[in-house]
Amino acid sequence: MILKKPRFSYRQFLIGSGLLLLIVMFGALSVGRYPLSFTTISHFFLHPLQLAPAVAATDQQILLELRLPRILAAAIIGAALAISGTAFQAIFHNPLVSPDLLGVSNGAAAGAALAIILGYQAAGIQISAFAGGLLAVLAAVSIQHFLNSRGSLTLVLAGIIISGFMQAVIGLLKYVADPEQQLPSITYWQLGSLEKVTLSNLGLNVPTLLLAGIVLLAFRWRLNLLSLNQLEATTLGANLKLEQGIIILCATVLTASAVCLSGTIGWIGLVVPHAARLVIGQNNAKALPLAGIFGAIFLLLLDSLARSLSAGEIPLGILTGFIGTPLFVWLLLKKRVTFV
């Protein structure tokens, strides 16, 4: 088989995707039930440099308190879920793996539901969700250790067990929740939304997201090696237990931190890594950063639709399901046509 030379280099793809991300972020600032012109947005950013006139107080408030935190959160969360999905798929040798593999999403949802029932505010709900996600992963790893198995399949099965248990916990908490106030909050949080993101709670989670993301980007060169079978990877000098542990931990922290901010958002960590590999090939070292950019763009576009399609905001979990399903089918068909 003759391999065709790519029309664009990896660097060109990366730069082009980065520029597209900036354009989408700029466009997303203007979209919503209260649209803003590009001129107003440009003046908002240029005025502190004395290069443009001042923006009306109402427009400033909308941009600074509502739109900007939300758009930054969409970009960061989309990138985090996509990077986590790429890392998990490489580590577990399974293209159908998603970031909530080890029960992170359901654990975080259970933690958030408990905090809502206890009457915690936004910061308390986020901390409880993060703790629930990490507790779920710790339980899955403990099951693997108890079974005295080092295989990745055992860890996946343990994650499925914990995820099912956390779903039962969520069901119990919804059953005892106040149907007037608490139950709608739990249900809406499970469906995923960026409506309640502020600069303060964004700042609370960004350091953790950045640290875990930087570590995964630093380890992206090892993903190709770790995606080999155990004997080949060990022969080539990989410390499987240590390196896989670091990558799984960082991917889990990324997922838990993202779920803390937005609630449960599916499909991004499953679909976007396939889109990145379709463009750049099976090299995980190159696919990981590209998937992060694609994930940020994808969630930004979905969030813009969520804020614009109706008078009330559509939960992101609904949109990702309706759009992610046909997109994933198309990607599978495209990969079949391309590689078979």
The domains located in the chain, with CATH, are: 72-339 (1.10.3470.10)
Query: Closest Cα partner for 17 from 288, 266, 257?
Result: 288
Report how many helices (DSSP H) and strands (DSSP E) the chain contains, helices first.
Answer: 15, 0
Residue at token pair 């009457």? 119
Six token digits for residue 85: 């999905």
Instruction: Find the farthest-apart pair of alpha carbons in the chain and give their distance in angstroms, rounded.
Output: 67
Give residue 28's pLDDT: 93
Give residue 301's pLDDT: 95
- What distance lies between CA 134 and its chain's CA centroid? 16
- Write the single-letter amino acid at 65: E
- What distance lies between CA 268 and its chain's CA centroid? 6
Q: What would the mean pLDDT of 108-124 be, rounded to a whole number? A: 87
Residue pLDDT, tens place only, 21-72 = 999 999 999 988 888 888 888 888 887 766 677 788 888 888 888 899 999 9
Give residue 51's pLDDT: 66
Average pLDDT, rounded, for the chain: 84
Taking the CB of residue 158, how many other CB atoms lie within 10 A of it?
23
Report the half-sphere exposure of 204 (CA within 13 A, side-chain side): 16
By the 8 A CB rule, do 195 and 259 touch?
A: no
Give residue 199's pLDDT: 86
Q: Record the pTM.
A: 0.88
What DSSP character marks residue 99?
A: T
Q: Is the pLDDT of residue 118 over 80?
A: yes
Give residue 181's pLDDT: 84
Q: What would the mean pLDDT of 225-230 be, rounded to a whole number? A: 73
Q: How far is CA 58 from CA 29, 48, 54, in A?
A: 14, 17, 12
- What distance lies between CA 124 and its chain's CA centroid? 21
Residue pLDDT, tens place only, 265-302 = 888 998 999 999 888 888 888 999 999 999 999 999 99
Q: CA 257 to CA 11: how far, in whole Å?
A: 29
Q: Where are the beta strands (DSSP E) in the chain?
A: none
Name which of 26-35, 144-153, 311-320 the model is least confident about. 144-153
Query: Closest Cα partner for 61 from 199, 175, 220, 194?
Result: 199
**Confidence grade of residue 2 (pLDDT, cut at 50, 70, 90):** very low
Query: Closest Cα partner for 81 from 211, 253, 337?
Result: 253
4 vs 183, higher pLDDT = 183
